[in-house]
Copies of this chain bind each other. A is one copy, B any other.
């Protein structure tokens, strides 16, 4: 076997270990909460030795950060892929479709929502994402900016608008799904979507 092959095999093995730790941790964090999940639990369920954990992560919280960014990012990524299957005349329709997909996905996995809490926006803005983002796929950020330009939507600072939309969604949806406050999610959706349209089509005479 060539040295090249050996090295790549070792590398594969390492990646596999890291992947296993991440997926096991996500499962446990969602199931029992971060506080009640110990490193012991994670390595036990992952079938990995205790010491090995520290070869990959400094502590539970570094793992948590990576996981938050990664998981949130996946929600955006999946929803965008889904949206790209269809054609939308209007940007607001497309954005709301994406957000609606994400909300439905969150409803379907309430435990993961409890893990993400109000930090969905990390999926777009976390610094931990650098590894994941060298993929050439178009995220919601690029999509939004591009379409604003193409369709001549009169937004002064589209990045800022998107940021506020995402934070608004992230924050209200968590409260609505988990605490059913101020309304259960299905009743809340129309209010939220109306507001999103407002933000995208801002026409403030001032």
By a beta-carbon cutoff of 8 Å, the part of chain A in contact with chain B is 117-119, 121, 125, 157, 159-160, 163-164, 167-168, 170-172, 175, 181-183, 188, 191-192, 194-195, 197-199, 201-204, 206
Q: Are B182 and A172 closer than 8 Å at their CB atoms? A: no
B-chain residues with CB within 8 Å of residue A194 when the two chains form the complex: 204, 206
Bound: A181/B164 CA distance, A: 12
Q: Are B175 and A168 closer than 8 Å at their CB atoms? A: no
Closest to A203 in B: B203
Contact A182-B118, Cβ < 8 Å, known A168-B171, A170-B171, A172-B164? no
B-chain residues with CB within 8 Å of residue A170 when the two chains form the complex: 171
- Cβ of A31 to closest chain B Cβ, rounded Å: 18
Bound: A192/B164 CA distance, A: 8
- Cβ of A181 to closest chain B Cβ, rounded Å: 6
Q: Are B175 and A121 closer than 8 Å at their CB atoms? A: yes
Partner of A199 from B167, B183, B198 at Cβ < 8 Å: B198
Contact A171-B125, Cβ < 8 Å, known A198-B199, A199-B198, A204-B194? no
Contact A125-B199, Cβ < 8 Å, known A171-B167, A175-B167? no
Contact A204-B199, Cβ < 8 Å, known A125-B181, A182-B159? no
Bound: A206/B203 CA distance, A: 12
- Cβ of A71 to closest chain B Cβ, rounded Å: 17
Known: A198-B199, A198-B204; 20 extra A-B contacts, CB below 8 A, are A117-B118, A118-B118, A121-B171, A121-B175, A125-B181, A125-B182, A160-B182, A160-B183, A160-B188, A160-B191, A163-B172, A164-B192, A167-B172, A168-B168, A168-B171, A171-B171, A195-B199, A197-B204, A201-B204, A203-B203
